[in-house]
Structure 1
Amino acid sequence: MSERTAHCSCGQLRITVQGEPRVVGLCHCLACQRRTGSVFAALAAFAGPYEVQGQASEFVRQGDQGARFRFRFCPACGTNLFHTEEGVDSGSVSVAVGTFADPDFPPPRFSIYDSRRHGWVQLPAGCQAFAKDPAP
């Protein structure tokens, strides 16, 4: 089984995941735009187990459909490294794709909140777009 490690800018906070991502996607919601400081978030979801090293600050945000997401940030450099969804598949984790610093990382297969995507952002071929979050 393959192993991947992502870390923050200063290296203090790390997460190691096992296997290939279950899904890689983009989120264009306004909350993700503000959270990342970019025009979208690129995320990779992994099944557990995973291992975290270092100290993390947390921020909990409620999504449009009521789900609660717990985001983990490095308290030293501020990098948003990963998040979990409370009460759902507690063993899974979503990691910010850029924190792997791997240009060969698998491309996104879906794009959510595409209705809020900046007009100049082009999606990769084969990436399925949803106007909002298709999750129930």
Structure 2
Amino acid sequence: MNTTRTGGCLCGQVRYTLNAEPVISRICWCRDCQHLSSNGTVNVIFPSEAIEITGTPASYTSTAESGNQVSRRFCPRCGSHLFADSTGRPGLTVVRVGTLDDPSSVKPAANIWSASAPAWACLDETLDRVDRQPGPIKPR
């Protein structure tokens, strides 16, 4: 089953279409994600080639705690964080669930980097829990 999903930034300058089913969706509690959102980020991973982008996101690359190089892409006008690509996940792109037009179209399967979550974090006990970096994932 192939469902098309759409999304974009707050101001609408950057829009995207996803033409594949998600590989996995997770809530990340690493410190980098906490800096981005002041909380955990809800992410869904898609094959990179399944993402069509209109508009030109800006990007910022840094070394994550995992040691991977992560390039984060965001709207240059409103700053909405949209995507992330990691050297640890070639061929896969993280999409921030909150930027989907229908964020309820995906459900997270796990909390990752849960050891970094603040003491007040509400971690859904029905989701898998990984203390740090999860094992590798492969495109379907």
TM-score, normalised relative to structure 1: 0.88
The offset of 1:113, in angstroms, is: 1.2
TM-aligned CA deviation for residue 103 of structure 1: 4.6
Q: Report if the CA contact (8 A) 1:17-1:50 is conserved.
A: yes
The number of aligned residues is 134
Structure 2 regions of 5+ residues with no counterpart?
A: none
1:124 matched to 2:124 = yes
Partner SS for 1:104: helix
The structure 1 segments of at least 4 consecutive aligned residues displaced by more than 4 Å after TM superposition are: none
Fraction of identical pairs, as percent: 30
Closer/same/farther in 2, CA of residues 14 and 33 from structure 1, 3 Å limit: same
Correspondence for 1:70:
71
Conserved? CA contact 1:71–1:84, under 8 Å: yes
Q: Distance in 2 between matches of 1:58 and 1:99?
A: 16
Q: Is the Cα contact below 8 Å between 2:44 and 2:106 reproduced in 1?
A: no
3-state secondary structure, aligned to 2:99: helix
Secondary structure, aligned partner of 1:12:
coil
TM-score (norm 2): 0.86
Contact 2:6 2:101 in 1 (8 A): no
Root-mean-square deviation (CA), in Å?
1.8
Closer, same or farther in 2 for the Cα pair 1:94/1:103, shift >3 Å?
Answer: closer
Q: 5+ residue gaps in structure 1?
A: none
Deviation sequence 1:20-77 (CA, Å, 0-9, x none): 21100011111111122x2111100012321111021100021222211111010100
Residues 44 and 103 of structure 1: CA distance in aligned 2, closer, same or farther (over 3 Å): closer
Counterpart-to-counterpart distance in 2, 1:26 and 1:98 = 12
Question: Who is 1:29 aligned against?
Answer: 30
- 1:8 CA drift (Å): 0.2
Amino acid at match of 1:34: H
Q: Give the equivalent residue in structure 2 for 1:97.
A: 97
| Bigger shift: residues 27-36 or 79-88 | 79-88
CA contact 2:112–2:129 (8 Å) conserved in 1: yes
Distance 1:41 1:110 in 2: 12
